[in-house]
Structures are given as structure tokens and as C-alpha cells.
Amino acid sequence: MNGKNTIFGWAFGDSARAEDEEYLATLRHESLENARQDAARHGVQIDPSTAVFTVVSEDDSLIDAGEAARGRVTVRCTVHVEGPGADEIRAEGPMNG
């Protein structure tokens, strides 16, 4: 049975480049790839057309991305997944559960 769900992908970068749109595009790509790899570990597929990207700031968000994000620009990709067991995956940060 195929289930559906949502997971997160994450990318962390140089906070000094947080205003550089080309750099942020690279981080968006990396966060989508992180989500794809995590989905593959769970045996499900992402739907890249559903990807939504958020630049997460420690100062402006309740999201705790952990030590990996301290002092860094963080891009979170939220993306839908489908496949057997997808409904059992729990999206957590900065890694999926």
C-alpha cells in the first residue's frame, strides 16, 4: 500500500552569504537532495514539484535546527513523499525520524 507524507531536507551554509540569491539557490538544491536521500533510506520517493523552501533564522523562528545550524544560514525543504510506509515517517528537524 502506498502512503503519502511530508519530510524535510536541510542545508547549512555561510551566514555571511545569506543575502546572495545564487548561493541560496545552491542551498535550496542541497536541501532537496538531502530530502531525496532521506526518502531513499526510507524506501519512498519525493515529489520535487511539491518542494517548498524556507530560509530559517535562529532569531526569527521557533525551529530548533540544532548545533549544525548555530551561526549559519539554514535552508529547509519541505517536500511530499509517496511509497510503502510513507505514512509512518515523521518529519523532524534537522533530520527526519
CATH number of residue 31's parent domain = 3.30.110
Residue 80 included in any domain: yes
Which pTM does this prediction carry?
0.81
Residues in Cβ contact with 67 at an 8 Å cutoff, skipping those fewer than 6 apart:
none
Residue 35 included in any domain: yes
Residue 28 included in any domain: yes
* Residue range 77-91: mean pLDDT, rounded: 88
Residue 95 included in any domain: no
Residue 93 included in any domain: no
CA 15 to chain centre: 17
The total number of structural domains in the chain stands at 1
Q: Render pLDDT for 1-58 as a digit per residue (tens, 0 to 9).
A: 578 999 999 999 998 898 899 999 999 999 999 999 999 999 999 999 999 999 876 5
Which residue segment(s) compose the domain that 22 sits in? Answer: 2-88
Phi-psi region of 69 (alpha: psi -120 to 50; beta: other; left: phi over 0): alpha
Indicate the helix (H) or strand (E) that contains 35.
Answer: helix 21-41
Distance CA 35, CA 10 (A): 7
- pLDDT level of residue 71 (50, 70, 90 thresholds): low
Report the largest interatomic distance among the alpha carbons of the chain, rounded to a whole angstrom.
46
